[in-house]
């Protein structure tokens, strides 16, 4: 499935890497470096999926998940949270706030695509 994906991360290297990987998989990608820019972007274009870093200055990925709940048109968009912090309780808190799944940094192309496909593709009946 080709999707419109919004990537939120304060690290420009991660933004470029994810954009390159996702475009090679034929996805349309929008990258932003902070949460206010993400909300501004979503006012003009609603993505199919959001990939959001958890550890960002000023407004964290957890804060993004919390704020997203106040926007009915956005709260149904699945979110994959991404973090280099090896803290299971952080990922559990993100799930409680509505994240679909998480991806640990550093990640591989295969790991990233497996998470995205797991969220976007319906399960195969068997």
DSSP-assigned letters across all residues of 13-38: HHHHHHHHHHHHTT-EEEEESSHHHH
What are the domain boundaries of the chain? 4-107
Closest CA to 28 of 18, 39, 38: 18
**So what's the pLDDT on residue 122?**
73
**More confident of the two residues 104 and 1:** 104
User: Under CATH, what is the fold of the domain 4-107?
Assistant: Rossmann fold (3.40.50)
Q: What percent of the chain has pLDDT over 70?
A: 98
Q: Is the pTM of this model over 0.75?
A: yes
């Amino acid at each position: 499935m080709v999707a419109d994906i919004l990537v939120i991360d304060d690290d420009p290297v991660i933004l470029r890497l994810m954009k390159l990987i996702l475009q090679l998989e034929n996805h349309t990608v929008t990258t932003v470096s902070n949460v206010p820019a993400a909300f501004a972007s979503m006012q003009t274009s609603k993505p199919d999926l959001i990939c959001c870093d958890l550890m960002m200055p000023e407004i964290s990925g957890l804060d993004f998940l919390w704020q997203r709940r106040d926007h009915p048109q956005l709260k149904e968009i699945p979110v994959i949270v991404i973090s280099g912090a090896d803290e299971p309780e952080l990922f559990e808190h993100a799930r409680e706030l509505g994240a679909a799944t998480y991806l640990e940094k550093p990640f591989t192309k295969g790991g990233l695509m497996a998470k995205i496909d797991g969220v976007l593709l319906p399960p195969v009946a068997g």
